[in-house]
Amino acid sequence: MDFSLSPEIDALRLKVRAFVNENILPLEADRSNYDAHENIRGEVLGPLREMAKRQGLWAPQMPKARGGLGLPMVGWAAFYEEANRSIFGPLSFNCCAPDDGNMSVLNKVLKTEAQKDQWLQPIIDGKIRSSFVMTEPHPGSGSDPGGMMLTRAEKRGAKYVVHGRKWFISGADGATHFILMARTSDDPRRGLSAFLYHKDQPGWRILRRIDTMGPEEYGGTCELEFDGLEIPEENLLMEEGDGLRITQMRLGPARLTHCMRWLGLSKRCLEIAHQYVRERNAFGSTLGSRESVQIMLGEVAAEIQKGRLLTMHAAWKLDSGDKAQKEVSMAKIHVADTLNRAADVGVQLCGAKGYSKDTVLEWIYRYARCAKLVDGASEVHKMVLARSLAKEGNDFWRWG
């Protein structure tokens, strides 16, 4: 088992790290660069993205022929982790959710180059943003889209007509291209289909941008209503009934890219805390010299490394063609917990400064809570692991 990165990927990782240190962290430290939703203002983001493009640090998950870096999944892991040492990093390199997951699935399932030119390339180029429209309010689908989705797309001639509601749709505010999941039949396995639509098409609207406890990622989380949206049949992704398959193709890697980014944030929390305790004096010595503080830092450092190994193993399996379902679930559970732990320890060790907006620790602390919920609650992923254990027995732990 070789855990070393190739020289090319490692050099790229270090280049990303330097870019974050030199160009992004200074902007992050200035609160005037934040918008009303606690993310980077558009006029600040634009020049930063152009600089990343010029330095060859753009869209690591996309093919070189379309302007990306064409990295394998293990390369994504190294790149994303360094990118998200800043809360502004993933946006700067065009590897943030939900765009990265949408780009990846569209690159796989769009049938023609002309379709990719129309629906995918503008997202890769950073000219527009996108959104994945699946989750519904009760009694519709949450973690069980296959069994509970209520939004319907009815076939009428050469088009589908959509009625229904969705909510907690990431990035919907300001997005241009949307991937919509809707029910086309009551078949338990092939009842869902996936469609593309443009923001300017009539028959749908954003009801509200939902306020949340944490800072919002670009485009927020929104509630949507569909009241007769007409989608031409050529904008059906793959075949009718392939919606659940497309969802699985998208969400598996997307869950893992969340882990990659969260590891970057976890490391950042430890960086801030470690620097603070080395300098802060109390009762005659620095906080960092105290055994209790060292134990807290050491425990979190070990949890981060466990998360990195779980994430890299899952990435390696995906690169080999495996679906890596249980490996992704294990990484998702552990890294979500680790991010929450790292943020909590960071705030605790920095005291009032950590609780204040003088550092990004409080931003990360509020954001971290969603990690146990997004792309499948931790409890759902534990159920996945239990099913795998029941099915595989001791082979659950097989090598390879």
pLDDT tens for each residue of 161-181? 999 999 999 999 999 999 999
Q: Which two tokens stand for residue 109?
A: 């399932």
State the Cα angle at 212 between 262 and 368, rounded to 5°.
Answer: 20
147, pLDDT greater than 90: no
- Locate all alpha helices (DSSP H) within the chain, ordered by sequence: 7-19, 25-28, 42-54, 73-83, 89-93, 99-109, 113-115, 121-124, 145-148, 243-279, 291-319, 325-355, 361-368, 378-392
**Taking 80 as the threshold, does the pLDDT of residue 144 lie above it?**
no
Residues 6+ apart with CB under 8 A from 219: 129, 131, 170, 171, 172, 173, 174, 175
What pLDDT, on the 0 to 100 scale, is given for residue 217? 84
Percent of residues, the chain, with pLDDT higher than 70: 100
Each residue of 237-247: b (16+ CB within 10 Å) or e?
A: bbebbbbbbbb
The pLDDT assigned to 189 comes to 87
Relative to beta strand 192-198, strand 236-237 is antiparallel
Give residue 132's pLDDT: 98
Mean pLDDT, rounded, for 295-310:
98
Q: Which amino acid is at 75?
A: G
pLDDT digits (tens, 9 = 90+) for 360-372: 999 999 999 999 9
Percentage of the chain modeled with pLDDT above 90 = 95
> Contact at 8 Å (CB) between 94 and 59?
yes
List the alpha helices (DSSP H) in 118-190: 121-124, 145-148
Bond from prior residue into 215 cis (ω within 30 degrees of 0): no
What is the spatial distance between Cα 158 and Cα 177, in angstroms, rounded to a whole number?
21
141 pLDDT above the threshold of 90: no
Q: What is the pLDDT of the chain when averaged over all its residues?
A: 96
Q: What is the pLDDT of residues 108-140, one digit of tens each?
A: 999 999 999 999 999 999 999 999 999 999 988
pLDDT at position 170, please?
96
Domains of the chain: 7-124 (1.10.540.10), 130-240 (2.40.110.10), 244-397 (1.20.140.10)
Could you tell me whether strands 130-133 and 177-183 are parallel, antiparallel, or unpaired per DSSP bridges?
Answer: parallel
Whether omega for the bond prior to residue 98 falls within 30 degrees of 0, making it cis, is: yes
CA distances from 220 to 33, 123, 179 (A): 18, 17, 16
370-381 burial: b if 16+ Cβ within 10 Å, else e: bbbebbbbbebb
Q: What is the phi/psi pair of residue 48, to 5°?
A: -65, -40
Q: Which two tokens stand for residue 374?
A: 């997004």
Pairing of strands 152-156, 159-170: antiparallel
